Structure 1
């Protein structure tokens, strides 16, 4: 039986770090894509609908004509070429895409932004002793999974300074080099990076996001809100 994978090898020399954003046209994915396009990165953008990807590309280039972006029609191919893979996906989709990229994500940094929310936003679907990021690490045992961007709203990418305070973006992971890379991405995206701890701290970060969503719905923050650590 002949099995054909949608993978190509790019032999061109490229000194920029290549970032694959899987789910680039979602609310979070588009915010991440637009903000990271201002950095010194090569972006590979994937989404299921090519027309939406093309619209996103037009919007990015209108604001930043020098952005180094490429549209991808295959998440496996985009992940193959990338140094860092950002899964800008809801929790169920994150679990599904992990199966498609497992082999090509070997030893690469994979960022999970997913919050495993239930349908009524009053709890998480994951057990208390795990998190979306830890479940991803199980599916990608040879990757360096990092939790990032899950504690901010999509609207915050347009306005990361709220009430004259720069919103914090919390990060968790077990690999120090991966945490440093994720911190640099967070800075480029406009947020203040806070390394919260090992990957198990993702449980706390996902609950923080759940609480922020609940507070937004209760108090009418219009999805423009974020966490901020104040200290001396």
Structure 2
């Protein structure tokens, strides 16, 4: 399976390297070509599964311009954080993932890898990761990918739950940046 990273910044590169270590072929796409990357369209056309690692606003502009997304799984790693950096925005009253799904209705959007910092993406160490989506097969696939790189992964049924996952992401960000002033923590789920 070929994984495509749309947006090869720190988050995209970190996830891509994790998947490369577990044996996947990973393609990196950027707006401007640089060494080791393809165009975003080339990655969208040739990958089996896509990870959306751009800023949310850039994703809104990008996704409708890409051909070849129909029927594919698109893992939404974005968070629609307000420009004032004080809350999660709700475009049209829905989660960012639901909003993106409306833009590309024939693509299977699944929310994952957005609820923690890049440090934990690079070293999950069994921390928790939730996966939300409408298509059960797509959710199962993303759960499998998440488990392979070291997360304790739990599926959630319904993309509307991406609202809560984006809220959980904001909690992590707020705690790391505004309260703790340190990013060296992760969330864990303990069963009793």
TM-score with structure 2 setting the length? 0.92
Say how many residue pairs are matched. Answer: 192
Quote the residue 1:28 is aligned against: 11
1:45 maps to 2:28: yes
Task: Say whether the 8 Å CA contact 2:116–2:169 is kept in structure 1.
Answer: yes
Measured in 1, the distance between the counterparts of 2:3 and 2:118 equals 19
1:147 maps to 2:111: yes
Match for residue 2 of structure 2 among 10, 18, 26: 18
Match for residue 184 of structure 1 among 114, 126, 144: 144
Measured in 1, the distance between the counterparts of 2:95 and 2:145 equals 22
How far did residue 127 of structure 1 move?
Answer: 4.4
Structure 1, 31-40 or 219-228: larger mean CA deviation: 219-228
Task: Say whether the 8 Å CA contact 2:91–2:99 is kept in structure 1.
Answer: no
Query: CA-to-partner distance for each residue in 1:136-187, whole Å, 9 max, x for gaps?
Result: 10011101010010002101123322xxxx2111110011110111112112
Measured in 1, the distance between the counterparts of 2:32 and 2:93 equals 36
How far did residue 188 of structure 1 move?
Answer: 2.5
> Which 5+ residue runs of structure 2 have no aligned equivalent?
none
Measured in 1, the distance between the counterparts of 2:149 and 2:116 equals 11
Measured in 2, the distance between the counterparts of 1:153 and 1:97 equals 23
1:212 maps to 2:168: no
Q: RMSD over aligned Cα, in angstroms?
A: 1.7
How far did residue 224 of structure 1 move?
Answer: 2.7
Task: Say whether the 8 Å CA contact 1:151–1:205 is kept in structure 2.
Answer: yes
Quote the residue 1:4 is aligned against: none
Show the 5 A alignment for 1:155-166: 155-161=119-125, 166=126
SS of 2:70 mapped into structure 1:
coil
How far did residue 134 of structure 1 move?
Answer: 0.4
Task: Say whether the 8 Å CA contact 1:23–1:46 is kept in structure 2.
Answer: yes
Show the 5 A alignment for 1:62-211: 71-72=37-38, 74-101=39-66, 103-127=67-91, 129-161=93-125, 166-211=126-171
Task: Compare CA radii of gyration and give the structure with the larger one.
Answer: 1
How far did residue 220 of structure 1 move?
Answer: 2.5
Query: CA-to-partner distance for each residue in 1:35-85, whole Å, 9 max, x for gaps?
Result: 01112322111123444x54xxxxxxxxxxxxxxxx31x211211111111
Measured in 2, the distance between the counterparts of 1:201 and 1:190 equals 23
Task: Say whether the 8 Å CA contact 2:117–2:172 is kept in structure 1.
Answer: no
TM-score with structure 1 setting the length? 0.77
SS of 1:37 mapped into structure 2:
helix
